[in-house]
Copies of this chain bind each other. A is one copy, B any other.
């Protein structure tokens, strides 16, 4: 069997993530996608089926990567509260890049089962990871023991979205850092 070079599926998905993040699903044309992905139109449809499946693949991969980065930050410090702080500061540092999670959530709500499946799966794992670190923080005396760790985790996730909406709207980094400080206040 002769096999000429195959294009890099992961790099192509990265390009698709960029386009979808910036313009949403409806605002992204097939031409914009193939340009950003660096592949031919035919290859796009051969590899991903259609635009919607490509979108789902992009959301899925973005979510996986983003969770990995959240986990890394969460574990980057010994104390639970410092891990949480690191996670939020990383969000602030990347707030100039639009988030495909927030974008897809607000563009489609809960109306697409394809997306819901991806979101619930990833959301659950992120939530659990945050809950674990909240528990750490409570044990270490940095977070109020009376707090429901699940509620605290949901609050932190909602604040990540809030920070990203603010950043997307043009808020300067200092204002976003201030949002992090306020969010952490709620845990004490």
Q: Is A24 an interface residue (CB 8 A)?
A: yes
Interface window among A43-51, A52-60, A69-77, A163-171: A163-171
A186 CB–B CB distance under 8 Å = yes
* Copies of this chain in its oligomeric complex: 2
- The range of chain A's interface size is 35 or more
What is the minimal beta-carbon distance from A80 to any residue of chain B, in angstroms?
A: 17
- Measured between beta carbons, the chain B residues less than 8 angstroms from A175 are 154
Check A110–B182 contact: CB distance below 8 A: no
Given the interface pairs A178-B151, A186-B186, the reply to whether A109 lies near B24 with Cβ below 8 Å is no
Interface positions, chain A 4-26, Cβ under 8 Å from B, are 22-26
Of the residues B105, B169, B170, B182, contact of A168 by C-beta under 8 Å: B105
Q: Chain B residues with Cβ under 8 A from A155's Cβ?
A: 178-179, 182-183
Q: For A102, list chain B residues within 8 Å (CB).
A: 106, 165
| Interfacial chain B residues near A162, Cβ < 8 Å | 158-162, 165
**Interfacial chain B residues near A169, Cβ < 8 Å:** 105, 109-110, 119
Assess A106 versus B165: contact at CB under 8 Å? Given A27-B26, A179-B158, A185-B186. Answer: yes
102-157 of chain A: CB within 8 A of chain B: 102-103, 105-107, 109-110, 116, 119, 148, 151-152, 154-155, 157
Instruction: Give 8 new A-B contacts, CB below 8 A, not counting A24-B27, A110-B168, A165-B165.
Output: A24-B26, A106-B165, A152-B182, A154-B171, A154-B175, A154-B179, A158-B163, A161-B162
